[in-house]
Structure 1
């Protein structure tokens, strides 16, 4: 899951940077991005990561799974350095090390357990969150640069966090019929689409690292709290301190990455010829 999300972030950022910048909350951006084979390849990696995360949420607490999603940021950064000549300041390297240390602590602290079901009132709250995030996106798209990346990335994280909350009990569905008739499935899909649109807009406005780090930071905390309070997520007895420390270190690392991240690519207007991609990334490009 971590590797899949890391590769997806990189490929989708390349496509987003080569697409005309959108200044409105326009779903048409996803259609334009779908015209890039690089983006579609990245989307395929993201779907694979999503499927693996869905299976993990069947038994693992959300504080572990959502924090592990953040570790994909490290894979993105390393691949960016190797393939796209990204530059990582020393502070970012330290934060990435802390990120993986925090994930390791959470792995040791998490106790597997099935999720409790969500009631109707909780589902109504998920609908309200969807509406609030969409309205926030309409206003946030007017922001530019690093601020736009962070705000839009944070909104994307909130939407993906709500999707994770819906997925945790949904992953325990006993049959396909139960799965397709559960309202949580459609809330999961709706939140995922809105989150994907917001993430694409965030990646257009500055640093991929900033956008993804903001998304991970905003997505980890709400899901972790809801999981512990409502879904029956558990920590091994005596390891509460390890879970708290690991989650705090992970959160500090992803928030810190939004502070030190610098723009890694520049936008190209539609009438300019695209720069060639590195050989390692041309597999997803049109022959022209």
Structure 2
């Protein structure tokens, strides 16, 4: 593979980091939703900031989709977590977030883990999947929806982590669907593939769960929980079912990089501090230069 896959990966990290920040701003201005109901998404869509954030998220998704054509899932999914670093930097610069030393150290560990995975990953196309995998993804979607119905009753950090984790499982399942789908070169086959519609369904439910998670406290905790839950199952499925590969002799580096990344995102769910607690007017929630750009 040429350099395009790595360029897609880098641009994806920036896009996801920007999306997390903008969605967090919009969520902080929206009345808290106490039920697992799509009305939250409808209210959020009334805000231009949220729509721009979703636009960046869609851009990140497209870039991730293109990167997954040749790069293994364990690399792409773990690299999504690097967007959290972009979110934190933009949050400090634009929203005056204050990150404790523990969180800064975890961000440094995250960068170390991603670097190890980049060095260890060996580009390769995905194996095709059968109807059993498609059925499994449909069952997973139903289970996540049921769990979300109960998890929405949690508040504070537990709510952020639980709902963020369920969102991550949805996005991880969407990633599993997109890896073989990215290798389909015919538009007819692409539009007729069940994986496409499973990918869309998982993405919509994941988006709702992420919004609910961000309303309950720390954006960093919600996104970190999401990234951890999205990375682990997708990485295992990629290695055992989809033909993801590691350069010979670098298995130890891949394992170390993945563990470091996982430890960083899990640590952030423990040490992250809340960036907002309630809806606030635009003049209080964001700097004036950001509010006036809406």
Q: In the aligned structure 1, how far is the partner of 2:289 from the partner of 2:274?
A: 22
Q: 1:279 aligned to 2:288? A: yes
User: 1:88 — aligned with what?
Assistant: 99
Q: Is the 8 A contact 1:37 1:284 kept in 2?
A: no
Query: How many corresponding residue pairs?
Result: 282
Task: For 1:145-224, list aligned pairs within 5 A.
Answer: 145-224=156-235
TM-score by length of 2: 0.94
User: 1:26 — aligned with what?
Assistant: 37
The verdict on how the C-alpha distance between 1:273 and 1:256 changes in structure 2, with shifts beyond 3 A counting, is closer
Q: Pick from 246, 250, 255 the counterpart of residue 239 of structure 1.
A: 250
Q: 1:132 aligned to 2:140? A: no
User: 2:4 — aligned with what?
Assistant: none
Segments of structure 1 that go 5 or more residues without pairing to the other structure are: none
Q: In the aligned structure 2, how far is the partner of 1:203 from the partner of 1:71?
A: 18
In the TM superposition, residue 175 of structure 1 has moved relative to its aligned partner by 1.4
Question: In the TM superposition, what whole-angstrom CA distance separates every residue of 1:13-35 from its partner, at most 9, and x where no partner exists?
Answer: 11011101001011111110000
* Secondary structure class of the residue paired with 2:283: coil
Q: In the aligned structure 2, how far is the partner of 1:163 from the partner of 1:100?
A: 24
User: 1:39 — aligned with what?
Assistant: 50
Q: Is the 8 A contact 1:80 1:86 kept in 2?
A: yes
* Secondary structure class of the residue paired with 2:110: helix
Q: Is the 8 A contact 1:21 1:204 kept in 2?
A: yes
Report the RMSD for the aligned CA atoms in angstroms: 1.0
Q: In the aligned structure 2, how far is the partner of 1:275 from the partner of 1:149?
A: 25
User: 2:7 — aligned with what?
Assistant: none
Q: In the aligned structure 1, how far is the partner of 2:237 from the partner of 2:184?
A: 19
User: 1:251 — aligned with what?
Assistant: 262
Task: For 1:60-79, list aligned pairs within 5 A.
Answer: 60-79=71-90
Q: In the aligned structure 2, how far is the partner of 1:181 from the partner of 1:281?
A: 42
Q: 1:118 aligned to 2:129? A: yes
In the TM superposition, residue 117 of structure 1 has moved relative to its aligned partner by 0.8
In the TM superposition, residue 178 of structure 1 has moved relative to its aligned partner by 1.1
In the TM superposition, residue 284 of structure 1 has moved relative to its aligned partner by 4.7
TM-score by length of 1: 0.96
In the TM superposition, residue 275 of structure 1 has moved relative to its aligned partner by 3.4
Q: Is the 8 A contact 1:41 1:284 kept in 2?
A: no
Q: Is the 8 A contact 2:283 2:291 kept in 1?
A: no
Q: Pick from 255, 273, 285 the counterpart of residue 262 of structure 1.
A: 273
In the TM superposition, residue 265 of structure 1 has moved relative to its aligned partner by 1.0
Q: Is the 8 A contact 1:62 1:227 kept in 2?
A: yes
Question: In the TM superposition, what whole-angstrom CA distance separates every residue of 1:126-173 from its partner, at most 9, and x where no partner exists?
Answer: 000000000011000000001100000000000000000000000001
User: 1:143 — aligned with what?
Assistant: 154
